[in-house]
A and B are shown apart, each in its own frame.
Chain A
Amino acid sequence: MSDTGASVLRARGLRKEYGQGEGLVRAVDEVDLDVASGETVAVMGPSGCGKSTLLHLLGGLDRPTGGELWLAGQRLDQMGERALARLRRGAVGFVFQAFHLMDELTAVENVELPALLAGQPARAARRRASALLDRVGLADRAAFLPSALSGGQRQRVAIARALVSEPAVVLADEPTGNLDSQATVEVLRLFEDLHEAGQTLIIVTHDSRIAATADRLISMRDGAFIDETRLTGGSTGNLGSLAGLT
């Protein structure tokens, strides 16, 4: 069960402010969050509610103004730049809306890049990258440049890359935002597989289909959590009525 696992990520009173005086904006406003190992959490909210900023704070891409943050047992908010960069490379995998692949590298080179940057031997990195491409169903596209891949395939390469350092948590920011419905289903299947395999996932999204893969859904407005729902359990078994059968 997800809620008996150890906490991989923990935030207390997390804040991010921009500007000052009259112009002060609290993009993230006193957020408390615990994410258990193996849990998938989705954060939804209107544009500008602070959900992307929150994700950047959680992954150490951005510094909080206040509050405490632990990831994989280490405290992030007081960490030095170099230690933070190392933690980002090893403990966090990022998936972005616009894929952020290197255009001049092939699929397998994109996937192995973070492992090489983290100092893994080239052959081990290549082996792992190839295995991950196989896992996302793209073994036969390993030597393709991103420009030769469809949107859904590019995002699957990006997901393989996010997994290459065996991160404690994968953070995804609108992972289906640039995808059509068929490609969205490919990414959905992949997230379901990762979830089954026990990968901890935090997904920020507008897309209700992606959100519905989560164990827990958090609604965010004006920088704060306003609602939290457990999607597991609950109302199974009455799909027939939704199709007009009963």
Chain B
Amino acid sequence: MQQEVILAMLAKEPSHGYELRARLRQALGPLGDAMNDGHVYVTLTRLEKAGLVTSEQATGLADRPDRKVYGLTPAGQERVTGWLAEVSWPKPDLAEFHLKLVAAAAAGLADPLSIVDAQRRELLRRLRDAQRAALAEPDGSAAGLLLEGIVLRLQADLRWLEACERNWTPRKDRS
């Protein structure tokens, strides 16, 4: 996860590491289960070294393993503002699959259609998992919205596979 995510979660108010963790878990729902809790602390330490975050020892919480309260420095504030204004989007990795089909067909090593079928099976299994998780979320949940995003992306990939299938199906009138 990007450092800026942790940084931006501190923008509301100075917080303990465990509070950040709880906010992340709430926003991610079932996807947060696989998250490594140590990651938040490692990132906070790095951000502190970079001068984007300061920490203060909180008092009267001796039973807590993490007594530090983290807050943004002015440089941290600036980084968050810049990050929010930045337009970025994950790059879909389509070229590798496309070239796999091209190479398989050219070399006669494998049938592009069976490669498409195998890919579709895998994507449908993922779609099933994502959809079940999405349907299990209550209406309006933040995590449900994220899962919906995964579902829609998988649907788009599956539609592209349909186009691949049409393209690689031998045309009867040509053969």
- Chain A positions within 8 Å of B, measured between CB atoms, are 46, 185, 188-189, 192, 208-209, 211-213, 217, 219, 221, 226-227, 229, 231-232, 234-240, 242-246
Kindly list chain B residues whose C-beta atoms are within 8 Å of the C-beta of A239.
30-31, 126, 129-130, 133, 147, 150
Q: How many residues of B contact A (CB 8 A)?
A: 36
In the assembled complex, the Cα of A237 lies from the Cα of B30 at a distance in Å of 9
Kindly list chain B residues whose C-beta atoms are within 8 Å of the C-beta of A208.
124, 127, 154-155, 158-159
Q: What is the distance, in angstroms, from B110's C-beta to the closest C-beta of chain A?
A: 15
The answer to whether the Cβ of B19 comes within 8 Å of any Cβ in the partner chain is: no
With A208-B158, A209-B151 in contact, is A242–B130 under 8 Å at CB? yes
Would you call A212 and B147 a contact (CB within 8 A)? no
Q: What is the distance, in angstroms, from B99's C-beta to the closest C-beta of chain A?
A: 22
Would you call A243 and B125 a contact (CB within 8 A)? no
Interface of B, secondary structure class, is helix
Would you call B150 and A243 a contact (CB within 8 A)? yes
Kindly list chain A residues whose C-beta atoms are within 8 Å of the C-beta of B135.
185, 188-189, 192
10 closest Cβ contacts across the A-B interface? A212-B127, A212-B128, A208-B158, A234-B125, A229-B121, A240-B34, A240-B31, A242-B150, A227-B117, A231-B128
Would you call A245 and B31 a contact (CB within 8 A)? yes
In the assembled complex, the Cα of A189 lies from the Cα of B131 at a distance in Å of 10
The answer to whether the Cβ of B103 comes within 8 Å of any Cβ in the partner chain is: no
The answer to whether the Cβ of B122 comes within 8 Å of any Cβ in the partner chain is: yes
Partner of A245, one of B28, B120, B129, B155: B28
Would you call A235 and B117 a contact (CB within 8 A)? no
